[in-house]
Amino acid sequence: MAAPLRVLAWPAFRKRAANPHAALLCEQLRAQGVAVADWTPARAALGRADLWHLHHPDTVLYPRSLLRSLAGTLIFAALLALARRRGTRILWTVHDLGSHDRLHPRLEAWFWRFFVPRVDAWIGLSERSRELVGERFPELRRRASFVVAHGHYRDAYPQRCARGAARRALGLPGAARVMLHFGLLRPYKNVPLLIEQFRRLAGDDHRLLIAGRPYDAAIRRAVERAAAGDPRIALRLAWVPPDEVAQVFAACDLVVLPYRRILNSGAALLALSCGRPVLAPDLGAMRDLQDGVGEAWVRLYRDGLSAVELAAAARWASDTPRPSAPDLGGRDWRELARETLAIYAKLTAGRCAAALPRLAADG
């Protein structure tokens, strides 16, 4: 009997509380016979894997401290070189075109120059996403590429509660038009701009709820300063436990993503999974998402977020007829795991051979 395929994923399960995306995929991969575990420096150095499946390799660039980022980058680079010498295949699911906040531009430039040539194959989350990745990293056009959609979150959180009960629990008026920004607060997400434009809305029938943990003290101060003095803005600047996520989304009419840059968005998929329409910039692959679920569920804006757009989007969210939930067909995790496993099989065919050939582009 053949040994199971050994995969180190970054991440697999350890980031479940922050974003269950990878855990949902890896659970289904395990159910289909893959021995998948979280990538860690110790496992990468001491163990052997047939394949690394990396979702966010640029996590090493996230710390504000240049010294910490440099240390993490060099350790990862050494382990990647070791894995290549051992014959481990490298698969990258490309969620973004670069680190979100671009804190260390020179180090990041070096990181991509080192990392991209060592990728054997890569996955885009949509066709448009794959096109944009090829433009950003031309060398990847010579690698095998695939499209595997971002799965939904319908099974990741408890069932939605009633809107009225959710609003009472959060102290929000029952009749207000409530906008929500949800998730880890980081500079690229542009939350102070959202607050600034919201404050320009006249009247007392709008509310803005910001729910999520600030990335650092600077972001917390910026958000609190922007919201000060407007009682229509509710700040919940803390991590939202999984058993409260559905309540937060049930309380809102519209989820607003004011990002400066974006390729794909787990937050948008979470909102849609909770049956809430989304306002997002017309950037990256957001038009693919709109095409997939329809214009009743995703509204796109250009040329920056404005108070006029917020007001129009609030009316759109409340007045547009739509079913209770969008069609998220093609985003079931069991099927996505099957598609991913087929890619693993192509990459690791003849995995015991000393030299593994490159796949043809488009695999």
pLDDT tens-place string over residues 161-200: 899 999 999 999 999 999 999 999 999 999 999 999 999 9
The confidence score (pLDDT) of residue 352 equals 35
Distance CA 154, CA 176 (A): 26
Q: What is the mean pLDDT of residues 261-265?
A: 94
> pLDDT at position 203, please?
87
Percent of the chain beyond pLDDT 70? 95
- For 227, the token pair is 């919201």
Average pLDDT estimate for 296-303? 96
| Homologous superfamily assigned to 6-151+331-348 | Glycogen Phosphorylase B; (3.40.50.2000)
DSSP string covering 247-272:
HHHHT-SEEE---SS-S--HHHHHHH
pLDDT tier for residue 363 given thresholds of 50, 70 and 90: very low
Mean of pLDDT over the chain: 93
The domains of the chain are located at: 6-151+331-348, 163-319
DSSP string, 96-113: -SS-SS-S-HHHHHHHHH
Tens-place pLDDT, residues 220-249 = 999 999 999 999 999 999 999 998 999 999
Residue 52 in this model has a pLDDT that exceeds 90: yes
pTM recorded for the entire structure: 0.91
Indicate the pLDDT class of residue 341, thresholds 50, 70 and 90. Answer: very high
**Structure token digits, residue 288:** 């693919």
pLDDT of 357 > 50? The answer is no
Within this chain, domains 6-151+331-348 and 163-319 share the same CATH topology: yes
Whole-number pLDDT of residue 102: 87
Write the DSSP string, 28-61: HHHHTT-EEEE--HHHHHHS--SEEEES-GGGGG
Residue 355 has what pLDDT?
A: 30
Give yes or no for residue 350 having a pLDDT over 60: no
Question: What pLDDT does residue 1 have?
Answer: 54
Q: How far apart are CA 265 and CA 262, in angstroms?
A: 7
Contact present, 239 and 282 (Cβ < 8 Å):
no
Q: Binning pLDDT at 50, 70 and 90, where does residue 143 land?
A: very high
DSSP state at residue 2: P
- Determine the pLDDT at residue 358: 39
**Mean pLDDT to the nearest integer, 28-33:** 96
Is the omega angle on the peptide bond into residue 11 within 30 degrees of 0, that is, cis?
Answer: yes
Biggest distance spanned by C-alpha atoms of the chain: 70
Mean pLDDT for the stretch of residues 337-347 = 96
From CA 349, how far away is CA 337, in angstroms rounded? 18
Buried/exposed code over 285-302 (b: 16+ C-beta within 10 A; e: otherwise): bbebbbebbeeebbbebe
**pLDDT greater than 50 at residue 359:** no
Cα 261 to its chain centre, rounded Å, is 13
CATH number of the structural domain 163-319: 3.40.50.2000
Distance CA 251, CA 163 (A): 5
State residue 160's pLDDT score: 73
pLDDT at 356: 35
pLDDT bin (cut points 50, 70, 90) of residue 157 is confident
Beta strand extents in the chain (DSSP E only): 6-10, 35-38, 51-54, 89-93, 121-124, 144-147, 177-182, 206-211, 233-236, 254-256, 278-281, 298-301
